[in-house]
């Protein structure tokens, strides 16, 4: 079965349409303390956002925690779909056979939705980043089936585009306010505590991704 990669509509933040984009927005409380951490989702070819936001539940066209603040549009030509196979040889065809080969972008997302409809949400090992990673692994995006919470987060952090200036304000203003209040009430040691919190958070995500998850598998 062949599927042509038809042209996508342009990204349209006003209509909340982000075709084939990885999208991000800040999390309440967590992003106030660590603004590099947020909520992510992946969009269908028509631009509708899908995101895993709770146990046995994947949001459709209702991005949790507000409007998209950052996005990066992914290239379907980097996926292991039938129209692309002539351009490169898939090194993971045996794993595709085991997990079910995705024929289209939306097919991969639909398969991941069915899978996460039966998953219990866990902040550290099974969350919105896990959902996106699962989708990208089904597509073998970029020739890799090793997508996880860490490299999904790094992708949006280093390659993401801000929707507009107000998205930047919405993402960083609470953090700035917390820092100012903390320094005013506690003093400069508050910054050390905040840094320690961020390092511990990043360390736990690394442990959850590369150690605990591997042990569970």
> What order of strands is seen across the sheet that includes strand 21-26?
57-60, 49-54, 38-43, 21-26, 70-73, 161-162
Decide if 42 is inside a domain: yes
Decide if 217 is inside a domain: no
Number of domains comprising the chain: 1
> What Cα–Cα distance (Å) separates residue 167 from each residue in 25, 71, 144?
9, 11, 31
In 10 A of CB 138, how many CB atoms?
26
Decide if 134 is inside a domain: yes
Decide if 7 is inside a domain: no
- The Cα–Cα gap between 108 and 161 comes to 24
- The Cα–Cα gap between 154 and 131 comes to 15
Burial bucket for residue 179 (CB in 10 Å: 0-12, 13-18, 19+): middle
What pLDDT score was predicted for residue 154?
94
Angle formed at CA 183 by CA 179 and CA 185, multiple of 5 degrees: 120
40-76 confidence digits (pLDDT tens): 999 999 999 999 999 999 999 999 999 999 999 999 9
Q: Supply the mean pLDDT for the chain.
A: 86
Tokens of 97: 């056979």
Place of tokens 């219990």: 120
Decide if 166 is inside a domain: yes
Length of the chain: 217
Overall average pLDDT of the 185-202 stretch: 90
The whole-model pTM stands at 0.87
pLDDT band at residue 206, thresholds of 50, 70 and 90? confident
Decide if 5 is inside a domain: no
What pLDDT score was predicted for residue 159?
96
| C-alpha torsion sign, points 105, 73, 137, 58 | negative
- The Cα–Cα gap between 66 and 60 comes to 13
What is the C-alpha R_g of the chain?
18
Alpha helix stretches (DSSP H) within 47-188: 93-99, 105-116, 128-139, 149-159, 165-186
- List the domain range (segments joined by +) for residue 109: 13-173
Decide if 199 is inside a domain: no
Decide if 81 is inside a domain: yes
């Amino acid at each position: 079965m062949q599927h042509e990669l038809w042209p996508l509509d342009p990204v349209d933040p006003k209509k909340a349409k982000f075709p084939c984009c990885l999208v991000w927005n800040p999390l309440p409380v967590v992003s106030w303390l660590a603004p590099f951490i947020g909520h992510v989702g992946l969009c269908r070819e028509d631009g509708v956002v899908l995101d895993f936001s709770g146990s046995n539940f994947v949001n459709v066209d209702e991005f949790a925690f507000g409007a998209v603040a950052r996005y990066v549009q992914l290239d379907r030509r980097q996926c292991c779909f039938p129209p692309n196979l002539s351009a490169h040889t898939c090194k993971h065809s045996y794993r595709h056979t085991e997990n079910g080969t995705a024929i289209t972008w939306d097919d991969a997302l639909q398969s991941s939705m069915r899978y996460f409809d039966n998953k219990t949400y866990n902040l550290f090992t099974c969350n919105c980043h896990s959902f996106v990673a699962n989708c990208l692994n089904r597509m073998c995006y970029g020739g890799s089936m090793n997508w996880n919470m860490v490299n999904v987060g790094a992708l949006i952090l280093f390659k993401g585009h801000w929707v507009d200036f107000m998205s930047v304000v919405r993402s960083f203003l609470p953090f700035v306010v917390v820092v100012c209040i903390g320094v005013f009430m506690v003093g400069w040691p508050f910054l050390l505590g905040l840094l320690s919190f961020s390092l511990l958070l990043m360390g736990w995500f690394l442990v959850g991704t590369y150690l605990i998850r591997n042990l569970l598998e």
